[in-house]
Amino acid sequence: MQNIKEIRLILGDQLNIQHSWFEEIDAKVLFVLMEIKAESEYVRHHIQKIVGIFKAMRHFADELRQKGHQVVYYHINATQNTQSFKGNLIKLIEQYHPTHLAFQEPDEYRLDQLLREVFTSFDLPFQVHSSEHFYTKRDELATFFEGKKLYLMESFYRNMRKKHQVLMESSSQPISGQWNYDKDNRKKLPKKHIPPPAHLFQHQVDDIVDAIQEMDIPSIGTIDTSSFIWCTTRKEALQLFDYFLDYLYPYFGTYQDALSEHYWSIYHSRISFALNIKLISPKEIVDRAEAYWSKHQEAVSLSQAEGFIRQILGWREYMRGIYWAKMPDYASLNFFNNQGKLPAFFWTGNTKMACMRKAIGQSLKYAYAHHIQRLMVTGNFCSIAGIHPDEVDAWYLGIYIDAFDWVELTNTRGMSQYADGGVVATKPYVSSGAYINKMSDHCANCHYNYKLKTGEKACPFNSLYWHFIQRNEAKLSSNRRMSMMYALWRKMNEDDKIALLNQADDYLEHMEEL
């Protein structure tokens, strides 16, 4: 490799082969990908997450080489790897004497700061390019809500539908006249209903796991090294999404809030990992989902299509916009001043609570839980148990294969923990055991009884819920969406209140034993 004029850095979540960078083959441009130890261990990640990212990066580098691009790849255990972006770049600059450098906008605030600092430290001009992945620019949401107190997802979403003409009848009217079908989409799985199996890949990943172990990178969760299940190439991401369209899409919306003791991904697409490392783009997903619905309306109703498209065109872009509008302060918000520590069962799944055992157990096994498990089981538990949002964030960021700061933080600290005091959610997502029983078959298998509020077998979600309501009264009672719960609490007789609070105190004191 001689006469390199430009070095371009590609991060592990920037595997977008359709990026304009790759349109032309230029022997004077050198692409660089690096597996960096510090990036793999700044929180304890699930082993499948580290393996999935490294494997996808390695495939991506091979694909670039096959197309004729110049590529340098730093394996995690390579002797020449200095284990820092700066160290490796210094060596490359010394070796190739480029005239300029470039990188794509990182999606994570910390990395954005770090790369700007590193690139500024070289005596060379550099350019920051768009990752060409999202529908929206970083500051688009902040501009849309300028001067507004509330950042309502629904108004952002409707604007996105209009702007990008998705599921629209005219430039301003949605197909069928209705914007949102959320109310139709809240069903429990019927007793004998069997969802199609999850579409799993079977990759051999011993070499990557060996390298991770050689480098002493700490991790959580388990992995089957002869049968790694996640997609790591664009081709596989497209296969996974085609499977979703043919088999899961018809019931996606109907059962998107369902919780199950027997099935771990139900009708969910499991496309988030492929999306977040940019193997596939949100526009491709939305366009394909809309086209499929349009062609197969007898199999996929509008409520399924709208329910799915809202997650990508609405929630995903909205969360990214909130992140860039509110960082860096957002990462330290703690509206309730929670100080609790996560109990050890978050790393083992050993708990008597059946719903938590399932959500945590499958997270350790697959690095995945679906939205309602994250929000209404583990997230709900953390909120009502008063766990510090730093602890909650670190766990979510580590355990899920799709967890990247911009989307994990806004979902966890914002939507789930209400630590932002109501920027993302209009009220805290907390519930007693009754909600979990309504949406699942967990309670029938549980040591606890969802109907009991006090006593040895009382469902912990019940008393902890009321404890949450009582201890946060000053902060929440003026919230109109909480007024019914505060009216109920005030009407409750004093003895019942005391019994509930004592029960909750006891559970909080013995949280490790729950």
| Interface residue list for ligand SF4 (CB under 6 A) | 353-355, 433, 436-437, 442-443, 446, 448, 450, 459-461
Q: How far is the CB of 185 from ligand SF4 (least distance, A)?
A: 21
Nearest CA-CA partner of 1 in 23, 32, 30: 30
Distance, CA of 103 to CA of 117 (rounded, Å) = 12
**Secondary structure tally for the chain: helices H, strands E:** 22, 7
Nearer to ligand SF4, 139 or 505 (CB): 505
Determine whether 475 is exposed, middle or buried from the number of CB atoms within 10 Å of its CB (0-12, 13-18, 19+): middle
Judged by beta carbon distances under 5 to 8 A according to partner kind, the member of ligand SF4, ligand FAD, none in contact with residue 472 is none
Contact 439, 372 (CB under 8 A): yes
3-state SS, residue 409: helix
Can you tell me the distance from the alpha carbon of 57 to that of 73, in angstroms, rounded to the nearest whole number? Answer: 9
Q: Which does 315 bind (CB under 5 to 8 A by kind): ligand FAD, ligand SF4, none?
A: ligand FAD
CB of 7 to ligand FAD, least distance (A): 30
Interacting partner of 446 out of ligand FAD, ligand SF4, none (Cβ under 5 to 8 A depending on kind): ligand SF4
Interacting partner of 448 out of ligand SF4, ligand FAD, none (Cβ under 5 to 8 A depending on kind): ligand SF4
Q: Which DSSP symbol is given to 411?
A: I
> In whole angstroms, how close is the CB of 272 to ligand FAD at the nearest point?
3
Using CB distances below 5 to 8 A depending on partner kind, what does residue 351 bind out of ligand SF4, ligand FAD, none? none
- Judged by CB, which is closer to ligand FAD: 125, or 197? 197
Q: Which two tokens stand for residue 4?
A: 């390199």
Q: Which partner from the list ligand FAD, ligand SF4, none does 416 bind, CB cut-off 5 to 8 Å by kind?
A: ligand FAD
- At its nearest, how many Å lie between ligand FAD and the CB of residue 194? 18
Instruction: Count CA atoms closer than 13 A to 481's CA, side-chain side.
Output: 7
**For residues 354 and 476, which CB has a smaller minimum distance to ligand SF4 in the complex?**
354
Q: How far is the CB of 446 from ligand SF4 (least distance, A)?
A: 3
Query: What burial letters (b/e) apply to 373-392, b meaning 16+ CB within 10 Å?
Result: bbbbbbbbbbbbbbbbbebb
- Using the minimum distance from each CB to ligand FAD, give the nearer residue, 21 or 157: 157
State the helix-helix crossing angle for 109-121 and 85-96, rounded to 10 degrees. 30
Q: Taking the complex as a whole, how short is the minimal distance between the CB of residue 419 and ligand FAD, in angstroms?
A: 11
Comparing CB distances to ligand SF4, the nearer of 257 and 402 is 257
Amino acid identity of residue 229, one-letter, is I
Which of ligand SF4, ligand FAD, none does residue 233 bind to, with CB < 5 to 8 Å depending on kind? none
C-beta of 374 vs 467, nearer to ligand FAD: 374
**Residue-wise DSSP of 152-166:** -HHHHHHHHHHHHT-
CB 369 to ligand FAD: min, Å: 7
Select from ligand FAD, ligand SF4, none the partner in contact with residue 450, using the beta carbon and a kind-dependent cut-off of 5 to 8 Å: ligand SF4
Q: What does 232 bind: ligand SF4, ligand FAD, none (CB cut-off 5 to 8 Å by kind)?
A: none
Dig out the tokens for 253 from the structure: 């919306």
Backbone angles phi, psi at 32, to 5 degrees: -130, 130
Which candidate, 101, 17, 90, places its Cα nearest to that of 60? 17
CB nearer to ligand SF4: pick between 319 and 511: 511
Number of alpha carbons in the 13 Å side-chain half-sphere of residue 225? 9
Q: Are 270 and 125 in contact (CB under 8 A)?
A: no
CB of 355 to ligand SF4, least distance (A): 3
- The three-class DSSP label of residue 10 is strand
Residues that bind ligand FAD (CB under 6 A): 268-272, 275-276, 311-312, 315-316, 319, 370-371, 374-375, 379, 396, 400, 402-403, 407-408, 411-412, 415-416
Pick between residue 41 and residue 261 the one whose CB is nearest to ligand SF4: 261
For residue 424, the minimal CB distance to ligand FAD (Å) is 9
Q: Which does 263 bind (CB under 5 to 8 A by kind): ligand SF4, ligand FAD, none?
A: none
Kindly report the backbone phi and psi dihedral angles of residue 353, in degrees, each rounded to the nearest multiple of 5, phi listed first: -80, 110
Closer to ligand FAD by Cβ: residue 379 or 460:
379
Count of other CB atoms within 10 angstroms of residue 410 = 25
| Beta carbons of 433 and 466 less than 8 angstroms apart | no
Tell me whether residue 136 is exposed, middle or buried, using C-beta atoms within 10 angstroms of its C-beta: 0 to 12, 13 to 18, 19 or more: buried
